[in-house]
Every structure is written in C-alpha cells, then in structure tokens.
Amino acid sequence: MLFAVDVGNSHTVSGIFEKGRLTGDWRLQSRRDRTADELAIRYHGLFQMAGIDPNRITGFIVASVVPVLETSWLNFARSYLTKLRQPPLAVTHTLKLGMEVATENPSEVGADRLVNAVAAWERYHVPLIVIDFGTAITFDCVNSVPAYVGGTIHPGIGISLDALATRTAKLPRLDIDVTPEHPIGTTTEKAIHSGMLYGFGGLIDRMVEVLSRQLTPDQDRARTIATGGMAELIKPYTYTIDEIDPQLTLTGLEWIYRLNCAGKND
C-alpha cells in the first residue's frame, strides 16, 4: 500500500493506494501547529474506521506547500509507518517526473503544481492547462515535449470573499452556496454571489484563452483539466474546462512514487 498526502494552505488531502487503485481518501484542515504525534493520533483513527492496517503501508509520498507541515508529515512517516520499504518521499523538482521543469527557477515551483502537471500529462499526452482551485487559483501549462513551462497564480475565491468582508465597511462575509438567478444582482448578497461566480468564470475562460495562444498557437485552445474544492462550483460559469478530477493530485503522487520507487510498494 502507498500512503499519499497533498498538503495545501487550507486543506490536506490524503489517500491510500493499493495496486494502483485509490481505496480510501480524506480531506482535513491544514493546521500548521500539527505535530507528527498528533498526525499519528488523527490517522490511526481514520485508518481504523476505514479498515486499513497501517502495517500494510509500504510506501509514503507527500507534496506540501507548507514547509513546517512537510516536516511533520515526514517525521510521522518515519516514526509511525514502520513497514516502509524506503525513506518517505517528498516531492521536489529533482525527482523523476517524466517531464522537464522548464522554468527560470524550478526550485520555487510548488510541489502540488508539479504533481498536477504530471498527472494530467500521463492521462492525455497532449499540451494542456491544469487549473487548481485552492487557496489560490493556479494555472499550470505543459507543452508537447513534455515540459512544465510555468503558469499563473491568482487569489482564490475564499481569499477574495475574505478581502471584501475585511477591507470594506458594509459588505458581509458570505459563503457561495446559491446560484444567482441573474448576472445583475438586485441585493448586496446577490451582487457578491454573481460577482464571484460569473467573475471567476470569466477569469478562467480569459486565462485559458491567453495561455493557449502561447502554449498551442495552432489550436483554438489547449485541453484543460481542473481540480480543487471550488472546481465544481465554477464550472457552470465557464466554457473552457474540459474535465474535473477531484483526485488529480493524489493520482499524480501515486504516479511519481512509482516512477521513483519502482517495485518498492505493493
């Protein structure tokens, strides 16, 4: 079994793979003060509820954009996953990825962005754009070489809602939980809902358009795959998202582990 972990700024998504198949997954808040011992307590309970024997976990890989939590996760794996067949693996640009990282400073590219690019390329083997709706919204581009060539980073929906509430005197903090009846909002709440959903939908379509001009100048646009917690929410307001895969990052982690540790886990 392989235990794969994607640590984001807001949430941590983890999963168990057995013979290449995802058999269990969890989504929890990313607490920066979480220690290795606390992770052990939390996941002991989750494993038990899912009927997973941690002694069958022979591989571990983590992709983290929170350095302190990456350390906690690696310490957890070293201390509590006693049947690992090799030291726990953390994703960096120096691993075998199946593609070149063709950016000016490969070391600064977020691990999750590399993992998503790898997973999407392995699925399609065509130039593509990956959109990840997390704390930030990221667009990541892979060309036909294949090479990860960079992308763009934007404030996420949650950040934008927080900014409206904290930086204005009269606008409330809202959750986006309803579909606007019309683009023109007739109340403050409806105006915020419409602005977020139609606005971010427009952002997605515009960015796919301009990135495709550079990435695939001989096509109308590049193939686009989306992931992240807000992807399903925004998709009805765009026309450029071809597919949504909530488990894209976990799938990429499993692929990278196999690429670097062939034969090291069942």
- Residue 139, by phi and psi: left (phi above 0), alpha (psi -120 to 50) or beta? beta
Task: Dig out the tokens for 243 from the structure.
Answer: 């597919």
59 is in an annotated binding site: no
149 is in an annotated binding site: no
Q: What's CA 53's distance to the chain center, in Å?
A: 26
194 is in an annotated binding site: no
Q: What is the secondary structure of 44-73 as a DSSP string?
A: HHHHHHHT--GGG--EEEEEES-HHHHHHH
Amino acid (1-letter code) at residue 188: T
24 is in an annotated binding site: no
188 is in an annotated binding site: yes
Task: Dig out the tokens for 166 from the structure.
Answer: 């904290």
178 is in an annotated binding site: no
Asked about 25 being catalytic, the answer comes back as: no
138 is in an annotated binding site: no
Helix axes 188-215, 157-167, angle to 10 degrees: 140
What is the DSSP pairing of strand 128-133 with strand 136-142?
antiparallel
Q: Is the peptide bond before 146 cis (omega within 30 degrees of 0)?
A: yes
132 is in an annotated binding site: yes
Q: Is the CB of residue 93 less than 8 Å from the CB of residue 106?
A: yes
Residue 261 DSSP one-character state = S
CA atoms within 13 A on the CB side of 71: 6
Task: Dig out the tokens for 221 from the structure.
Answer: 């646009």
7 is in an annotated binding site: yes
142 is in an annotated binding site: no
92 is in an annotated binding site: no
30 is in an annotated binding site: no
Amino acid (1-letter code) at residue 186: T
105 is in an annotated binding site: no
Looking at the chain, the number of H-run helices and the number of E-run strands are 7, 11
> Exactly one of 25, 112, 162, 220 is catalytic; which is it?
112
Catalytic residues: 112
| Sequence ranges of the binding site for ATP | 6-13, 135
| Sequence ranges of the binding site for substrate | 110-113, 188
| Sequence ranges of the binding site for K(+) | 132
| Sequence ranges of the binding site | 6-13, 110-113, 132, 135, 188
